[in-house]
Each structure stands twice: as structure tokens, then as C-alpha cells.
Chain A
């Protein structure tokens, strides 16, 4: 920082901490994006007080205007905490960034009162702007990261949820597949199917693709891979739920499914499976 040292700003902040906190708090709470239902007034005040303390402390020891020094570590940790917790609570990015940006006005007010010389005032305002912008950007970055973590966790959960392996009968497994089959899902499907084959000792697995919207060569290849892997474990596969349009696509694409038993419906496949395992369902005569 140039002529007007950061420690001078820090001193002013420490002197007028109360006024700043009051103004900052009211700016934050009056901001139209503020979600009162997600966070309490008390929490906001606590976060603000803690931030301001660390902020002025860091300003005092600031060495360059890149905000990369150790003196900013505490500030960064606090900001990361704040924005991560807000990301989890469901705040929007602008809500989260407002936490920092709404500090500008109170600081400007204080600066105007304390630095009467126009040139110095301009310098101070500029310094404050630069620092707060950087911190604001950092907040947004952490917020983004937090959201991405949430998204990837949900994706993982969806993967696990959407590929159940159910035991239909003794020795017969069914895999009702729903949604697009990509390679990562095929991997999950394959692993859970093979594990289930080991656990239940099943000899037949029915892959039901009723819920798969499109079947292209890649999906077909994934299906065939699953079938081959199950066969290596000693279980035969039946593919069921092939809709008329999908049957047409498969033939048009020239995908060879002759090595697998295919059936139109899960019920048909189940009958074949019962036959293969030498079982029978009979109606009870009343």
C-alpha cells in the first residue's frame, strides 16, 4: 500500500468499530436479498464482529496488496467458514457476497469523517475498495466450491439410488435401470450386480431397460459388457423392456444382441428365468 498505510485505516476501524458494526449490520439486514428465514440476526452480528476484528488485525500487518501473506490466513478461514455455511443453508451467491460488499459503505463513511484531505481520502477509498473486492471474490469462489461439493455428492447418491439390484425369486435377480446409461453408471451397475450375484448365488439376472430413454451403440456396448461380466461369474443375463422404437434403433445401428436373450417385458423375462432355474408358479385352485 502506498502513502496512506494500511495500519492507519486499521486504527480508524478499531477506533470506530462500534459505529461500523452498527451500520454494517443494518445494511446487511436491510439488503433485499437477505434471507431472514435462513439465518438469525444474532448470527449475522457475531460473524460481522469477528470478521471486523480479524480484518483490522490483518490490515495492520498487511505487507502487500495481493492479500497473500500469512496475516490474512485467519480472515480467509473465517470467510471460507461463512460462505460454506451459507452455501449449505441455501443462500444465493449474491447473498453471500453481500456479506463483504455491504461493508464498503460503512467503511467509506468512516473514512470520509477521518481523512479530510481529498487526495488522501481518494487513496484510502481506493485501497479499501481493492481489498474488499478481493475478499468478496474469494467469498464467491469458496461459495462456488461448496456448491460444487454438494452437487457431486448428490450425483454420487443418485448413482447409488438409481441402480438397485433386487432379488425376484430364488436364484433370479432383476436390475431395473432408469435414466441414461453412461460409463460411470455402467461401472456402478456392474459392480453392484456382480456383488449381488456373489451374495445371493443367483444364476439368472434380468436387465430391465424400460426406463432407459435412448439406446445408442455406446449404451449397447455397456449392456453387453455387463452381460459378459455376469456370465464370467456364472450367471446368465436376460435383457428385457426393449420398446419398439429402441428395438428399431438397435437393428438400424447394427448392434449384435444375438448372444443375449432379449424379451419385450420383464414378465416374459421372468418366465424364462423361472424355466431356466427349473421353477414354476402355479395358480391355486379355489
Chain B
């Protein structure tokens, strides 16, 4: 079964979505990520969706959920690399991902996480 790898980098967990997200993958990712955050006591999660070209309302909500649940597990979360078309689609679907931090690319996302962890 397809799984999305979750990479550990110090206190950060790195999730890069490189395949077409379908519903089962999203559900698996949700499980895996919560387990990993708990296991490594990760303080920050970075989700890179730069390869994601197509989103529907379900995937949009999954992204929002994943960000929400890692926040509950006390890990700062940032979603990076959203494509313009994906952003427009999510807005049109009414999913503005309020409360999820966003950045243009991985570099800027890591900057945000670093400053957030320093506080």
C-alpha cells in the first residue's frame, strides 16, 4: 500500500507529498503522522505539498485536519509549497485553512518553524 514517508530532522518532522494524494493515502498519513509525532516528541512539522497538483474538498479537509491534529499534539505546523492553482481551488471550495501556517517554500517554512520554536 502507498505510504507517504515522514522524515525526522532533529526536532522537525518533514512530510513531502510526492505522489498523487488519494483518499486512502491521506488517511494513512494522518495515522502515521500522529504516531510519529508522539513517538519522537516532535516539536515541529513541515508539510510540503509542492508536488500536489489536484485537490478536492476531501484532500483539502485532510490537509487542514493533519495540521490541526499536529497542533493539538503540541507541534508547530507549517504547510509549504502550495501551487497557485491549488490555492485558488481551496479558496473556491471555501477551505481557507484558517489557523494553519503557510509558507512559499521549504526554506521559508523552516525559518518560520525555527523562530516559532525559539519563543
Interface, chain A (partner B; CB < 8 A): 187, 190-191, 194-195, 197-198, 201, 203, 225, 228-235
Partner of B97, one of A190, A191, A198, A232: A232
- The 10 lowest CB-CB distance pairs between A and B, nearest first, are A194-B84, A234-B103, A228-B96, A232-B87, A234-B104, A234-B102, A229-B87, A229-B91, A228-B91, A225-B91
Query: What B residues does A201 contact at CB under 8 A?
Result: 104-105, 108
The residue of chain A having its C-beta at the shortest distance from the C-beta of B103 within the complex is A234
Residues of A within 8 A of B88 (CB): 187, 190-191, 194, 229
B84 CB contact (under 8 Å) in A198, A203, A228: A198
Set of chain A residues within 8 Å of B87, measured between Cβ atoms:
194, 229-230, 232-233
Contact check, B108 vs A203: say whether CB atoms are below 8 A apart. Answer: yes
B37 to chain A, nearest CB (A): 22
Tell me the total A-B contact number using a CB cutoff of 8 A: 54
Cβ of B80 under 8 Å from chain A: yes
Closest A residue, CB atoms, query B101: A234
B102 lies within 8 A of A191 (CB): no
Is B90 an interface residue, CB under 8 A from the partner? Answer: yes
Evaluate contact between B91 and A233: CB separation under 8 angstroms: no
- Closest-by-CB residue of A relative to B100 is A232
Q: Are A233 and B96 in contact (CB under 8 A)?
A: no
Q: How many residues of B contact A (CB 8 A)?
A: 19
Which chain B positions have C-beta within 8 A of A225? 91-92
Question: Which residue, B82, B87, B90, has most C-beta atoms of chain A within 10 A?
Answer: B87
| Alpha-carbon gap, A230 to B86, bound state (A) | 11
Contacting A at CB under 8 A, from B64-100, are 79-80, 82-84, 86-88, 90-92, 96-97
CA distance A230 to B80 in the complex (A): 12
Q: Could you tell me the distance in whole angstroms from the C-beta of B53 to the nearest C-beta in chain A?
A: 14
9 inter-chain pairs at a CB distance below 8 angstroms, sorted by A residue, are: A194-B84, A194-B88, A201-B104, A201-B108, A228-B96, A233-B84, A234-B102, A234-B104, A235-B104
Are B84 and A195 neighbours in the complex by a CB distance under 8 Å?
Answer: yes
- A203-B108, A225-B91 as given contacts; A231 in contact with B103, CB under 8 Å: no
**Among B84, B90, B96, B109: residue with most chain A CB under 10 A:** B84
Closest residue on chain A to residue B104 by CB atoms? A234
A232 and B104: CB pair below 8 A? no
Q: How far is the CB of A236 from chain B (nearest CB, A)?
A: 10
| Smallest CB separation, B101 vs chain A (Å) | 8
A232–B80 CB distance below 8 A:
no
Q: Which residues of A contact B80 (CB under 8 A)?
A: 234
Q: Which residue of chain B lies nearest to A195 when distances are taken between CB atoms in the complex? A: B84
Report the Cα distance A229→B88, complex, angstroms.
Answer: 6
Beyond the given pairs A194-B84, A234-B108, 18 more chain A to chain B contacts, judged by CB atoms under 8 angstroms and listed by A's residue number, are A194-B88, A197-B104, A198-B104, A201-B108, A203-B108, A228-B91, A228-B96, A229-B84, A229-B87, A229-B88, A232-B87, A232-B102, A233-B82, A233-B87, A234-B80, A234-B82, A234-B103, A234-B105
